[in-house]
Each structure stands twice: as structure tokens, then as C-alpha cells.
Amino acid sequence: MPRETEDPKSTPCVTSRWSHNFSWIRILAFPVTIYLVIVLMMYWLQRSLIYLPQRENRIDVHDADLPTGQVHAITVSTVDGLELRGWHLLPDGRSAADYQACDSELSKGRHLVLYFSGNGGNRRYRTREFSLLTGLNLDVFVFDYRGYGDNPGSPSQEKLAADARSIWNYATQKRHVPPNRIIIYGESLGGGVATGLASELCQSRIVPGGLILRSTFSSLVDAGKYHYPWLPVGWVLADRFMSIDQIPQVTCPILQIHGTNDSIVPIEMGQQLFARAPEQSSGGIAKRFVELAGAGHNDVTLVAYNRFQQEIKNFLKPP
């Protein structure tokens, strides 16, 4: 019986078809490999892209460019043993000679602002915004994040959240300022820190005097997708700052301020966050969203200083 054999004419066709497909696989594999390498690099380097500190050997109270006696150095101990340095800024026209005199000023019934900064620079670069607040007869505590300014360590969402609780405890327990006199203030990424702290406190039935959010996002995930639409941000981002999920639990009065020309955190992200906030506080104060016409992300105090200051003044009430 004859042995079956392959048709020799058919073999080249199979080989040719396989070679053609393999060529396409090789062509596609190159950009896919490059993309995966970029994604992995972004994953490993993500915190260096999120947190942009300006390091200093030492930041002095004179760097605040305010009169002698109006700014005092303060420190807070973190749960993991670091010392975070910052400033206590007294209201305009006020001064104190020492720590005890500062405590005496804090006991006079004014609001105290806990200021949580954005992701870049350090406290030296925000003196104009501090002056806006001290000009409203407010005390201000500002601590640089770990790894920023003259502080040790390196930042992450978890560590910043723990440090924010330490700062709150410092203000309420060591400096004896009642919670209802404390305004939690968050700028940009600091809005994520501030919202997380306010949400946690309110869920513990400790209600701050208010929450002010300036130029902040709905979540860092949304901000990441905006700036890197070609990356799978939702999959790889470690520090997510999901303010949009935390703000529904905030029961203190809420003020949001956002520039209409913000290209870093578009105003739509702020509006999305505002939409998830309770309509009013536990005390019946309606939430408020303020649009600063023509203001961007970093020029708010240059473009709309007076309007910005007036809106905060309207928001504050005697404790």
C-alpha cells in the first residue's frame, strides 16, 4: 500500500505564512516591550514624581519675611520617631517673646489654621499665602512634610496621614486649642491630606472648626490620569489620596476655592469633589465652592488675593 506523503508544494506556503505572522509578532513586541518598561519605571519612580521637595539644611523663622516675634519655630514628633520642624505664625500685629507667650496668644480664642502644603517646595515658598491668613487675625501652624525643607525622612500617603494626626494631637493636646477653633487647610496635594484628616476626625465624632480646600483634586488617581492618560494609573498608583471617597464623612463646614485657569488640577476635579461633600455641616452651615476667575494653580494669591482673603473671612465665624 502506498505511503502517504506530504505534498512538497504545500510546505513552502505553510512556512511562508508562519514567517509572515512571526514578523508581525516581532514588530508588535517591540513597542509593547518599550511601553511595559516605561510603565515599570513609572511604577518604581512614582513617589519621586508625586513628591517634589525642596531640601534645605536649615529653615529659619526669618525666612518667613514677617516681623520679629511673629513667627516661632515649632516641632512635632511622629509615631516613628522623626522630628518635623515648622512654624507658628501669629496674626498680623501680634508678637511673642517665647513659647509661653505663644501659648498665651493661642488661649485668646482665635481660630488656628493647620496648613497642609502642596507637593512641591517647602514652607519658605508659601509666605504670601501665610500672610493672607495672618492678615485675617488667624494663628497658623505649618509643618513641612517629612523629606521636605529641613525635615528628615521620605513621604508617602500613609506616613503623611499619620503625621497629620500627630500635628492635630500637638495642636489640641500639647497646645490646648479646642477642636472647634481649628481650621484644617489643604493646598493642592495637601487637600488630600487635609480631607483625610477631617474625615477621620469627624468619623470619631471630633468635629473641627472647618475644612478649607484650595486647588485640590477629587483623587490623585484622577489627577494622574489627567497628566498621564496613556498610563494605567489606576492599576499602578500606590498613593491614591481618594478624597472623593472621604469627603462624604466630613461633618464640619467646608469651603473649596479653585482657579478657573488651573491647568495642574483642573477646576472640574474640584467640582467633582465638591459634589460628593455633604450639603451642609452638622451645625447647618452650607458648603461653598468659590471660583477665582483667571487664577491658575500657583498664582492664586497674585491674581485674586483680595477675593481669596475675603472668601475665607466670610467663611470664618467666631468660635
Q: Is the pLDDT of residue 160 over 90?
A: yes
Q: Which residues contact 228 (CB under 8 A, 6 or more apart)?
A: 42
Which residue ranges form the domains of the chain, and what is each CATH number? Answer: 47-315 (3.40.50.1820)
- State the Cα–Cα distance between residues 317 and 255, nearest whole angstrom: 13
Average pLDDT across the chain, whole number: 92
Summarize pLDDT for 280-305 with one digit per residue, the tens: 999 999 999 999 999 999 999 999 99
Q: Is the pLDDT of residue 149 over 90?
A: yes
Q: Is the pLDDT of residue 4 over 50?
A: no
In b/e form, how buried is each residue of 262-298, taking b as 16+ CB within 10 angstroms?
A: bebbbbebbebbbeebbeebeeeeebebbbbeebbbb
Query: CA nearest 180: which of 312, 282, 73, 310?
Result: 282
- State the Cα–Cα distance between residues 160 and 197, nearest whole angstrom: 10
What 151-160 contacts at long range (C-beta under 8 Å, 24+ apart), as own/partner pairs, is 151/82, 151/83, 151/84, 151/85, 152/82, 152/83, 153/78, 153/82, 154/47, 154/51, 155/47, 155/51, 155/53, 156/47, 156/238, 156/239, 157/192, 157/238, 157/239, 157/240, 157/241, 159/78, 159/80, 160/193
The per-residue pLDDT for 20 is 56
Summarize pLDDT for 245-278 with one digit per residue, the tens: 999 999 999 999 999 999 999 999 999 999 999 9
Percent of the chain clearing pLDDT 90 (strictly above)? 84
- State the Cα–Cα distance between residues 16 and 46, nearest whole angstrom: 45
Higher pLDDT among residues 93 and 12, named by residue? 93
Query: CA nearest 223: which of 151, 177, 273?
Result: 273
The per-residue pLDDT for 32 is 75
At residue 141 the predicted structure's pLDDT band, cuts being 50, 70 and 90, is very high
Q: Is the pLDDT of residue 319 over 60?
A: no
At residue 2 the predicted structure's pLDDT band, cuts being 50, 70 and 90, is very low
Summarize pLDDT for 83-119 with one digit per residue, the tens: 999 999 999 999 999 999 999 999 999 999 999 999 9
The average pLDDT across 209-231 equals 97
At residue 27 the predicted structure's pLDDT band, cuts being 50, 70 and 90, is low
